[in-house]
Amino acid sequence: MKTWILAIAMMMGVTMSAQNDGRKTDRPNHDKRRMEQKAHLTPEQRTELRAKQLTLALDLNDKQQKDVQKLIQGREVKKQELIEKHKVDREAGKKLTDDERFAMRSQMLDDRIALKREMKKILNADKYAKFEKMGDQAHQKGFNGKHKVRNIRRK
């Protein structure tokens, strides 16, 4: 009799843990759809949208908006070229070596540093502080989800 009760309790436990607890389970699909929608935009369209977002968030004047748009345009063109290159490599089955991965990561960080320096030249102190805060919030938002779990597992 005890074994039957134990078996039923275990089955109920497994059944209860398999239930949806109200969290969004389609989050990865949502991210995938969002990325597919972004992929259909040209670099010029993405540049214009991002510049308008920053203009609204930072209350940029016309000169600042044009300067920011030029800066973003250069980044978007580079980004599109990298996406195309990696797509071809992935289809060919080529995997990155550790040195290539390091060089790519290093280049990305150098680009971020250059962006910050340029934005600091374009924006005044208050707007730059708000820009930094926006970046920090986006960084935190990205690490509150699946990225945080993945990074913990690596340690």
Is residue 116 one of the residues assigned to a domain?
yes
Instruction: Write down the pLDDT at residue 131.
Output: 87
Is residue 151 one of the residues assigned to a domain?
no
Is residue 24 one of the residues assigned to a domain?
no
Domain that holds residue 58: 44-124
Is residue 62 one of the residues assigned to a domain?
yes
Q: pLDDT by residue for the chain (155 residues), tens digit each?
A: 778 887 888 888 777 666 555 555 555 555 566 666 666 788 888 888 988 998 998 888 999 999 999 999 988 888 888 888 888 988 888 888 899 899 989 999 999 999 999 999 998 889 888 888 887 776 666 655 544 444 444 44
Is residue 119 one of the residues assigned to a domain?
yes
Instruction: Write down the pLDDT at residue 96.
Output: 83
* pTM higher than the cut 0.85: no
Instruction: In whole angstroms, give the CA distance from residue 54 to residue 83.
Output: 24
Is residue 102 one of the residues assigned to a domain?
yes
Is residue 30 one of the residues assigned to a domain?
no
Into how many domains does the chain fold? Answer: 1
Is residue 23 one of the residues assigned to a domain?
no
